Chain A
């Protein structure tokens, strides 16, 4: 049962991921964004299979919810017609495919040659909120607090770069 679900979600993640960037039927960015939502949801399914329930919930709430809504707003504010008319250059496409294919082959070869997952200690924490909270406020307290500064800088920057009057 678990294996079945794993293959289902993994296949969905990959398929939808491809459809985000290379949809043969339409080049509408909104469709791409919707497929990105599906990718994120099936990824959340994989997290559930790994017992990372909190991560799965956050993945759907934050990425599929908040971030995607933001994406859609931005897409709709842009001029979509121009994007649909734009032709992809053949040379760039071939080069891009070759680069991506090369990296994929390299990754596959590396994973086959290394005994992935052998000799690992069992995880020291399950994916529950209790464990996560403990970790965040003990071992990872310093990076966690630093992230708040990164957010502050990002906030100042957003206000500055989007404020209307130049005074």
Chain B
């Protein structure tokens, strides 16, 4: 047992408790400074994780094999920490729309972040469940935080019920895995993988666990909640759902598939091709008629879950590298878009609020346009290169199995459909009739800096991807194919 392994997580939890306590002695009008405190703290932890913390080489396990600190865990923890900084800064901007408990708002965001970081390091099905619960319980509260808005409450209740259902499936799956293998540790389960893969009951258990995780990544057939919840939740929380929760779901999918059950994953290529194809089509087709920006992003998030599933379905190392790279780019892209939404979509999030944005604030218009271009996958931004890697991984498999060829075709069709609605947003910014509201929008300095960082990151990832790619390639050494 080595508590130093937990230093990043303990630092985040400590920061959360500190914010909770300092909140007691803070006057109401100064509470937003707690957000700056939290963001600064997270930034320090992020920098520490980049230079001081162990590199995850060699991978270290601790707490009776419950917790693993390897390259994969660290890669995702850095994404989570960066997302956490941006979400907290959005929360500061959002403060006038949170009726009460601003200090607690930041505390719960930090706790949520700690849950995601534990999920990245989970090496045991019990830890998977506990980390998932930590994330879910925090989200129940965060989503319904604007409790005077009925939308927010409705989204909270929907998320609560569907998340409880998916947690039930997950626990049932874990029970079946425990019942057939007698253990819950990933390494121990994997050691008996070939024998267990013959056992139908074990397969059912693994399938149910994956279904529970599919809820977090909003993939078909557990995608129903995403648009409603994205629309109703406070915008910073929506951003965290889209960036953090999805990435946490994917790291768990990778770990369960390629660490705990590699023998099983080999036979499940078909399952994942179907899931990926259906998710891409569902997300893209349903996004077309949307008028609400947050709903649109909800469907776009389903479609993106489908693209990322391409990398999982490829069942090869390049696929998993592409998953990691895509998630890194996706985090910055979505952060930029949600920062703009925080500032612009104040009373309604109908697409009409974007009218004349290029004259109200050229900076925001540019940021939103770049974000949409990256989501659509147009060079030279991060989204393009991520999609390219995913398609390449799938086409490599197509040389072996013909069925991957039509998966690639479906994905390309999805990308083409998505141009329509992503460019619809850009058109609303530049070429729509002037809206009723034409006052310039003031952007606070921290948000300007964070938008600049996100845009720089999008260009950096798209133009010189080598550094992140080699980090991702190191990270997936933890997986077995």
Binding site for B on A (CB under 8 A): 106-107, 110-111, 113-117, 119-121, 138-143, 146-147, 149-150, 152-154, 156-157, 160-161, 163, 166-167
The answer to whether B13 and A166 touch across the interface, beta carbons within 8 angstroms, is no
Q: Is B204 an interface residue (CB 8 A)?
A: yes
The answer to whether B20 and A156 touch across the interface, beta carbons within 8 angstroms, is yes
Contact string, B90-134, partner A, CB cutoff 8 A, digits 1/0? 000000000111001001100100100010000010110111011
The secondary-structure label for the interface of chain B is helix
Give the nearest-CB partner of B111 in chain A. Answer: A153
The answer to whether B137 and A116 touch across the interface, beta carbons within 8 angstroms, is no
The answer to whether B201 and A160 touch across the interface, beta carbons within 8 angstroms, is no
Interchain CA distance A110-B134 in the complex, whole Å: 32
The answer to whether B64 and A146 touch across the interface, beta carbons within 8 angstroms, is no
Which residues of the partner chain B approach A111 to less than 8 Å between Cβ atoms?
Answer: 201
Give the nearest-CB partner of B192 in chain A. Answer: A119
Q: Is B412 an interface residue (CB 8 A)?
A: no
Q: Is B147 an interface residue (CB 8 A)?
A: yes
Q: Is B140 an interface residue (CB 8 A)?
A: yes
The answer to whether B101 and A139 touch across the interface, beta carbons within 8 angstroms, is no
Which residues of the partner chain B approach A160 to less than 8 Å between Cβ atoms?
Answer: 100-101, 104, 141, 145
Please give 8 more A-B residue pairs, beta carbons under 8 A apart, in addition to A110-B204, A113-B200, A149-B111.
A110-B203, A117-B179, A139-B66, A146-B134, A153-B111, A157-B140, A160-B141, A161-B144
Q: Is B63 an interface residue (CB 8 A)?
A: yes
Determine how close the nearest CB of chain B comes to the CB of A133; give it in whole angstroms. Answer: 15
Interchain CA distance A146-B138 in the complex, whole Å: 13
The answer to whether B134 and A141 touch across the interface, beta carbons within 8 angstroms, is no
Determine how close the nearest CB of chain B comes to the CB of A20; give it in whole angstroms. Answer: 15
Which residues of the partner chain B approach A141 to less than 8 Å between Cβ atoms?
Answer: 1, 63-64
A166 with B20: in contact, given A121-B182, A142-B63, A150-B134 (CB under 8 Å)?
Answer: no
Interchain CA distance A117-B199 in the complex, whole Å: 11
The answer to whether A143 and B100 touch across the interface, beta carbons within 8 angstroms, is no
Partner among A110, A149, A161, A163 whose Cβ is within 8 Å of the Cβ of B141: A161
Which residues of the partner chain A approach B63 to less than 8 Å between Cβ atoms?
Answer: 141-142
Which residues of the partner chain A approach B332 to less than 8 Å between Cβ atoms?
Answer: none
The answer to whether B201 and A142 touch across the interface, beta carbons within 8 angstroms, is no
Determine how close the nearest CB of chain B comes to the CB of A137; give it in whole angstroms. Answer: 11
Interchain CA distance A62-B63 in the complex, whole Å: 28
Interchain CA distance A133-B377 in the complex, whole Å: 53
Interchain CA distance A116-B181 in the complex, whole Å: 11
The answer to whether A153 and B137 touch across the interface, beta carbons within 8 angstroms, is yes
> What are 11 A-B pairs with beta-carbon distances under 8 A?
A107-B204, A114-B200, A115-B199, A139-B64, A140-B66, A146-B118, A147-B130, A153-B134, A161-B141, A161-B147, A167-B28
Which residues of the partner chain B approach A149 to less than 8 Å between Cβ atoms?
Answer: 13, 111, 114, 134
Q: Is B148 an interface residue (CB 8 A)?
A: yes
Q: Is B180 an interface residue (CB 8 A)?
A: yes
Q: Is B325 an interface residue (CB 8 A)?
A: no
Number of contacts between A and B (CB, 8 Å)? 87
Determine how close the nearest CB of chain B comes to the CB of A69; give it in whole angstroms. Answer: 20
Give the nearest-CB partner of B112 in chain A. Answer: A153
Within 8 A of A (CB), among B175-229: 179-180, 182, 195, 199-204
Which residues of the partner chain A approach B404 to less than 8 Å between Cβ atoms?
Answer: none
The answer to whether A143 and B137 touch across the interface, beta carbons within 8 angstroms, is no
Q: Is B67 an interface residue (CB 8 A)?
A: yes
Binding site for A on B (CB under 8 A): 1, 13, 20, 28, 63-64, 66-67, 99-101, 104, 107-108, 111, 114, 118, 124, 126-127, 129-131, 133-134, 137-138, 140-141, 144-145, 147-148, 179-180, 182, 195, 199-204
Interchain CA distance A157-B63 in the complex, whole Å: 29
Partner among B66, B99, B111 whose Cβ is within 8 Å of the Cβ of A166: B99
Determine how close the nearest CB of chain A comes to the CB of B405; give it in whole angstroms. Answer: 30
Interchain CA distance A156-B16 in the complex, whole Å: 12
Determine how close the nearest CB of chain A comes to the CB of B170; give it in whole angstroms. Answer: 14
A140 with B126: in contact, given A113-B200, A153-B141, A160-B101 (CB under 8 Å)?
Answer: yes
Which residues of the partner chain A approach B201 to less than 8 Å between Cβ atoms?
Answer: 110-111, 114, 116
Determine how close the nearest CB of chain A comes to the CB of B150; give it in whole angstroms. Answer: 14
Give the nearest-CB partner of A139 in chain B. Answer: B64
The answer to whether A167 and B100 touch across the interface, beta carbons within 8 angstroms, is yes
Which residues of the partner chain A approach B179 to less than 8 Å between Cβ atoms?
Answer: 116-117
Determine how close the nearest CB of chain A comes to the CB of B132; give it in whole angstroms. Answer: 10
Determine how close the nearest CB of chain B comes to the CB of A71; give it in whole angstroms. Answer: 14
Interchain CA distance A121-B107 in the complex, whole Å: 44
The answer to whether B144 and A153 touch across the interface, beta carbons within 8 angstroms, is no
The answer to whether B144 and A150 touch across the interface, beta carbons within 8 angstroms, is no
Give the nearest-CB partner of B126 in chain A. Answer: A143
The answer to whether A157 and B108 touch across the interface, beta carbons within 8 angstroms, is yes
Determine how close the nearest CB of chain B comes to the CB of A67; give it in whole angstroms. Answer: 14
Determine how close the nearest CB of chain B comes to the CB of A123; give it in whole angstroms. Answer: 8
The answer to whether B138 and A143 touch across the interface, beta carbons within 8 angstroms, is no
Which residues of the partner chain A approach B1 to less than 8 Å between Cβ atoms?
Answer: 141
Interchain CA distance A116-B104 in the complex, whole Å: 48
The answer to whether B130 and A114 touch across the interface, beta carbons within 8 angstroms, is no
Which residues of the partner chain A approach B130 to less than 8 Å between Cβ atoms?
Answer: 143, 146-147, 150
Which residues of the partner chain B approach A163 to less than 8 Å between Cβ atoms?
Answer: 100
Which residues of the partner chain A approach B129 to less than 8 Å between Cβ atoms?
Answer: 143
